Structure 1
Amino acid sequence: MSTTKKAKYSVAIADDHVLVRKALGRLINTFNDYFMLFEASNGEEVIKIINSREIQLPDILILDVNMPGMNGYETATWINNHFPQIKVLALSMLNDESVIIKMLKSGAKGYIMKNVEPDDLKDAFDSIIKKDFYLPDYISGKVISGLQKDVLSVSEKIDLTPKEKYFLQLLCTELSYKEIAQKMYVSPRTIDDYKSSLCEKLKVKTRVGLVIFGIKYGLIDISN
């Protein structure tokens, strides 16, 4: 009897470079828990495949930022509006704060460079599945730097409880929601309530959105 473990999570790739798509596909199929579902050359092709309903929705969609036609920003926005359960991971050669922030604001759950090691890509997948976001240290610093240039003093106008502020602070760490619950000595259900309340108050939908908002408007102490 075979004891081969079946992969749990499906991955799709959109990149206009055929060699990149093929190489990534082969690599992903070597990862435990992940398998390649489909590949596309641009955003329009992604949408066509998804709307065809002929295959399942991918758990993770790797999006090249700069593609001809419908680019990464536009595709991420469409995915976020129509199928928010698909976790978008931006892939690029651009280590530029404005590009990173724009992709995150477009709905990407994370951002990774094309020159990373295979283990880093696997770590990105694991983080997005478990924690709903992925930002390596070299990216996090640029995001914070870029957002600090636009900090607005509105924190006093936003009515957050001390526990909500603490929760928002913990969202900037690599802790999972379960680990945050343990650190705050509350149940996972209470953490869900904190997240729902904050998303409603701050008019955002995701953990990345909460982190970006918190940093931008001075609700998070980034010195910690």
Structure 2
Amino acid sequence: MKQAEKIKVALADDHILLRKGLAGVVDSFGDYAVLFEADNGQHFTQQIKKHGEPDIVLMDINMPEMDGYATAQWLKQHYPLVNVIALSMYDNENAIIRMFKAGAKGYILKDSEPPELKKALDSVHKKGYYYSELVTGRLIHSINKMDDDKSEIKALNELNDREIEFLKHACTEMTYKEIAEKMHLSPRTIDGYRDTLFEKLEIKTRVGLVMYAIKNGIVTI
């Protein structure tokens, strides 16, 4: 692959050593090149205006001045074609949901091995999404196809109004206990809705429920 054809990657992380190490790993992949680096979201907005639009951004969630959530939202508004992969130290359910809703197309932990980072970059570049083990393979497959998968439509038609209401609440930052209070139901009943949806939709995590809801238009990002 010629230099001009390399996929452009931008890095946004306030930890300099980690960012420099990440830049070295990205450049070592051969078909990717680091376009620019930024210390935080505010700096990122300046850098993108100076250096141009990257294909993919590896974005830390916790940054000073302007965090990953705000920066992803800003990108979605001003540069909607730029794909964001969120970086985090923690596999935090609420953080993942917030980043998805802010427009991130992938989520990877900072302690991941280089091959997983390469896989994430390749997947986002070619397919538009990467969710690693956070979502079942079946759901990733349906997201990637983004077509009229009859089994997905059938599953959606099998959901009743209360299950759909629960699914919408599950796409927020509310805890299951708060969802129970919102729906005027017991926590045990809410757990029942969750487990039923896991079984019906063949999904194993709350993040999977969020991605199913986005894919099927129940909520929008």
| Alignment TM-score, normalising by the size of structure 1 | 0.63
Aligned match for 1:70, one of 66, 83, 90:
66
What displacement does 1:42 show? 0.2
Q: For the Cα contact (< 8 Å) 2:60–2:68, is it kept in 1?
A: yes
Deviation sequence 1:52-91 (CA, Å, 0-9, x none): xx32211001110001110000000000111011100000
Q: For the Cα contact (< 8 Å) 1:130–1:176, is it kept in 2?
A: no
Aligned to 1:88: 84
Aligned match for 2:135, one of 137, 140, 144:
140
Aligned match for 1:59, one of 55, 59, 62:
55
* SS state at 2:126 partner: helix
What displacement does 1:216 show? 9.2
Aligned amino acid, residue 34 of structure 2: M
Structure 1 pair 119–50 and aligned structure 2 pair: CA distance change class (3 A): same
More helix per residue: 1 or 2?
2
Unaligned runs of 5+ in 2: 151-209
Aligned amino acid, residue 22 of structure 1: K
How many pairs are equivalent? 159
Structure 1 pair 78–32 and aligned structure 2 pair: CA distance change class (3 A): same
What displacement does 1:5 show? 3.9
Aligned amino acid, residue 8 of structure 1: K
Aligned to 2:153: none
Kindly indicate whether residue 173 of structure 2 is the aligned counterpart of residue 173 of structure 1: no
* SS state at 1:88 partner: strand
Aligned to 1:188: none
List aligned pairs for 1:8-157, cutoff 5 A. Answer: 8-51=6-49, 54-137=50-133, 139-140=134-135
Aligned to 1:193: none
Identity of aligned residues (%): 41
* SS state at 2:64 partner: coil
* Aligned counterparts of 2:106 and 2:96: Cα–Cα separation in 1: 9
Structure 1 pair 113–212 and aligned structure 2 pair: CA distance change class (3 A): farther
Aligned to 2:176: none
Structure 1 pair 81–99 and aligned structure 2 pair: CA distance change class (3 A): same
* Aligned counterparts of 1:216 and 1:16: Cα–Cα separation in 2: 35
Deviation sequence 1:116-153 (CA, Å, 0-9, x none): 1000000000000111010011x226xxxxxxxxxxxx
What displacement does 1:175 show? 7.1
Supply the RMSD in Å over aligned alpha carbons. Answer: 2.9
